[in-house]
């Protein structure tokens, strides 16, 4: 099934106000994972919904759609370890498998036995691992009821890496992390957004605050190792989507330079009866660039399977 989002970018963004990262942090709490603090935000009533963010940002990415989501769901949005307001240890073995362990343990600690999942970017890969575990061991972890993915590199062969991503993967990665500053970040980050949905100065400052909290920029070269994992475990994670035991929808901003139109095309090629929604004129962050459209398509997806 292919659906085209019809709203214009201007109409999509108008009703939603920004919340500062500091205000977001004040509304959250912490959970311990392997001796490290992990920030998590949980709010609302109803069926559980787990929201997983991408690289290199944080759960704050969901703030523009947070209130409508919490009006219908009990929403859990953690900062993965190494991201946002969570701990960012330098001597840590960051991996997608560990992030999936974190999510399973956090969800269990809250007494959640089943949940829907909404994910973006790297969060998509974490969900693929969670689905792979369910296929391999059906009784493991919490029961995933549905999955809605936003722009992300779910098929490694369809990713178009940015120069900064390539550099972080080289032996120069530690030096790049140490020297990476806000001006370089701004230059590399702006092109990820659609031409008519560019981030404001305030939003760019918020992203940078989240990245650099707890000296986070120094671990960027460690976090981005997940790109190598996507290649190494491609078959496992592609199979998780092809054989997914739950409904899956893929919402894609078409103007995303990293995982946009090409990723959607590859999804249609590989996934049986693909449910793809294209948001034209939108870039890599649909939940921030087109919050109304994302909510509309997410709620429609939920309604279709209840």
pLDDT digits (tens, 9 = 90+) for 224-264: 999 999 999 999 999 999 999 999 999 999 999 999 999 99
Q: Which residue, among 70, 73, 78, 77, has the nearest Cα to 48 in the 3D structure? A: 73
What is the overall mean pLDDT for the chain? 93
Burial readout 44-57 (b: 16 or more C-beta within 10 A, e: otherwise): beebbbbbbbbbbb
Question: Is the pLDDT at 301 greater than 60, yes or no?
Answer: yes
CB 116 within 8 A of CB 303: no
Q: Which residue, among 115, 109, 105, has the nearest Cα to 48 in the 3D structure? A: 115
Could you tell me which residues are beta bridge partners of residue 276? 2, 250
Instruction: Say what the pLDDT of residue 15 is.
Output: 52
Question: Is the pLDDT at 139 greater than 90, yes or no?
Answer: no
C-alpha dist (Å) from residue 252 to 5, 198, 264: 10, 17, 7
Question: Is the pLDDT at 118 greater than 80, yes or no?
Answer: yes
User: From the centroid of its chain, how far is CA 65?
Assistant: 14
Q: Dig out the tokens for 198 from the structure.
A: 């560019």
2-304: CATH number: 3.40.50.1820
Helices (runs of H) and strands (runs of E) counted in the chain: 15, 9
Can you give the pTM of this predicted structure?
0.93
Instruction: Say what the pLDDT of residue 140 is.
Output: 82
Question: Is the pLDDT at 149 greater than 90, yes or no?
Answer: yes
């Amino acid at each position: 099934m292919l659906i085209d989002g019809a709203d214009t970018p201007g109409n999509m963004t108008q009703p939603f106000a920004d919340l500062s990262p500091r205000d977001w942090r004040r509304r959250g709490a912490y959970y311990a994972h392997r001796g490290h603090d992990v920030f998590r935000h949980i709010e609302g009533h109803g069926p559980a919904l787990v929201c997983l963010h991408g690289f290199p940002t944080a759960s704050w990415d969901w703030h523009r759609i947070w209130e409508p989501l919490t009006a219908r769901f009990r929403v859990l949005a953690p900062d993965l370890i190494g991201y946002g307001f969570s701990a960012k240890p330098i001597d840590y073995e960051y991996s997608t498998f560990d992030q999936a362990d974190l999510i399973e343990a956090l969800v269990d600690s809250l007494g959640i036995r089943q949940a829907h999942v909404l994910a973006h970017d790297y969060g998509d890969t974490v969900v693929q691992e969670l689905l792979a575990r369910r296929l391999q061991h059906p009784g493991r972890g919490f029961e995933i009821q549905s999955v809605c993915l936003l722009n992300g590199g779910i098929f490694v062969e369809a990713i178009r890496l940015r120069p900064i991503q390539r550099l972080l993967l080289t032996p120069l990665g530690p030096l790049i992390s140490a020297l990476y500053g806000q001006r370089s970040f701004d230059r590399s980050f702006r092109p990820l957004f659609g031409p008519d949905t560019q981030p404001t100065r305030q939003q760019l400052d918020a992203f940078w605050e989240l990245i650099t909290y707890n000296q986070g920029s120094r671990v960027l070269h460690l976090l981005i190792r997940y790109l190598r994992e996507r290649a190494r475990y491609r078959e496992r994670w592609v199979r998780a989507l092809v054989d997914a035991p739950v409904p899956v929808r893929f919402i894609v901003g078409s103007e995303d330079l990293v995982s946009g139109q090409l990723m959607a095309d590859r999804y249609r090629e590989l996934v049986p009866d693909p449910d793809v929604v294209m948001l034209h004129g939108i870039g890599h962050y649909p939940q921030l660039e087109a919050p109304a459209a994302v909510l509309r398509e997410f709620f429609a997806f939920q309604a279709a399977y209840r």
